[in-house]
Amino acid sequence: MALVERVMGKPIRGVNLGGWLVLEPWMTPSLFVNSDAVDEYTYCSAADSSVKKHLTQFRNTFITEHDFVWLAKQGVQAVRLPIGYWLYGDCPPFIGTKTYVDLAFVWAKKHGLKILLDLHGAPGSQNGEMHSGKAGDTGWHRNPINITQTLEVLGRIAKDYGHHPALLGISVLNEASPRIPRRVLVDFYEQAYTLLKASCHAEAWIVCSDAFRPGRWHRLFPQQQYPGLYFDYHHYQIFSWLDRLLPARIQLWRTQHTVPAKLRRMARHHPIIVGEWSAALRSGLLYERQEYYAAQVKAFGAADAYFYWNYKTEYGGPWSFRES
């Protein structure tokens, strides 16, 4: 079974299918009109039959086979598919999404794409952000039951998709908070790696979040002992106070010089992916954003894959690969 290979030394080119199976109000605002919901948990908690029908219609149409056809024509080789721990439909009030995951694998196989399944939302929330399914407290690591449940879900996912020919790999926990003690993450990553390595095809990638601290993993998980384990780095230059102050030309310089050096340092210790990035800037004209986009692609040369966030939003713009 051949995975997508680096061509002429270039990383795998991918996009995220965010906002589809894990809701984010800013990406799909039409779902949240006349609603006080701030995340998928509060959305589903208040959902009556008409709201549930609307959600089903949205999921039936936001991503379809036509999108996989279009992506393949653009030379995209893989998609990173965010999913929640509730995908099996047994975690109320969340509504299950496995039917759509199944369809994504059918479409990916048919059109020659690979899928990196990404556990975007974990029980208790691994980062307190809305894209974990429930905004607020970062409680994933405070209750051992949450970690056990996460491993159980990963086991079910591996059983269902671990030997699918379209599987690129499984990302075990998206954007783990840097406040989670490293020893907790190390123990979880070891258990998840052992579980998935035994349950997936030999070439499947097992991807771990760097928890926004890429330098903390250099001495851990040596490649000889953990073949197929990747670390996931997310790159944005839009959210920090520094990002708000710097003009586009300085942002471009950072991309051209600082980012490649950071990724090369990481790649000396582990294979890496850039699981999320975008061309969004707080300042800058269109041509500067285009330069910024191209500079990032070049900077990601040390990675084995990079995935644009996001494939599309309801309103386009720099967060939408489809509109770029």
Q: Report pLDDT digits (tens) over 242-280.
A: 888 888 889 999 999 999 999 999 999 999 999 999 999
Q: Is residue 276 part of a domain?
A: yes
**Domain residues for 265?**
15-323
pLDDT confidence tier of residue 5, bands split at 50, 70 and 90: very low
User: Does residue 234 lie within any of the structural domains?
Assistant: yes
Q: What is the pLDDT of residues 159-198, one digit of tens each?
A: 999 999 999 999 999 999 999 999 999 999 999 999 999 9
Please, is 38 exposed, middle or buried when counting C-beta atoms within 10 Å of its C-beta (0-12, 13-18, 19+)? middle
Domain assignment present for 5: no
Instruction: Calculate mean pLDDT across residues 200-223.
Output: 97
Question: Rounded CA gap, 307 and 197, in Å?
Answer: 23
- What type of residue is 173? L
- In CATH, what number is assigned to the domain containing residue 214? 3.20.20.80
User: Is residue 9 domain-resident?
Assistant: no
What percent of the chain stands above pLDDT 90? 88
Residue 139 pLDDT class (50, 70, 90 cuts)? very high
DSSP state, residue 5: P
Place of tokens 């995951």: 101
Residue 255 covered by a domain: yes
Whole-angstrom Cα distance, residue 86 to residue 92? 8
* pLDDT at residue 56 tops 60: yes
Structure tokens at 133: 């399914």
Q: Is the pLDDT of residue 6 over 50?
A: no
Contact between 284 and 248 (Cβ < 8 Å): yes
Q: Which of 24, 40, 129, 175 is catalytic?
A: 175
Number of structural domains (the chain) is: 1
Please say if the pLDDT value at position 23 is more than 50: yes
Q: At 18, list the tokens.
A: 């965010």
- The one-letter amino acid code at 318 reads P
Q: What is the pLDDT of residue 8?
A: 52
pLDDT at residue 285 in the model: 67
Band (49; pLDDT cuts 50, 70, 90): very high
Between CA 321 and CA 233 the distance in angstroms is 19
User: pLDDT for 82-135, tens place per residue?
Assistant: 999 999 999 999 999 999 999 999 999 999 999 999 999 999 999 999 999 999
84, 164, 206, 272 from 127: Cα distances, Å: 13, 30, 20, 21
Lowest-pLDDT range, 136-145, 276-285, 304-313?
Answer: 276-285
The per-residue pLDDT of the chain, averaged, comes to 94
Q: Tell me if residue 187 falls in helix, strand or coil.
A: helix
**73 within some domain:** yes
| pTM attached to this predicted model | 0.95
Question: How many degrees, rounded to 5, is the angle at CA 203 between CA 75 and CA 117?
Answer: 60
Residue 24 lies in a domain: yes
pLDDT at 4 over 70: no
Answer yes or no: is 144 within a domain. yes
- The residue from 276, 288, 291, 314 that is catalytic is 276
Catalytic residue at 323?
A: no
pLDDT of residue 9: 66
Phi-psi label, residue 86: left if phi above 0, alpha if psi -120 to 50, beta otherwise: alpha
Question: Is 291 in the active site?
Answer: no
What angle is formed at CA 176 by the lines to CA 180 and CA 217, rounded to 5 degrees?
80
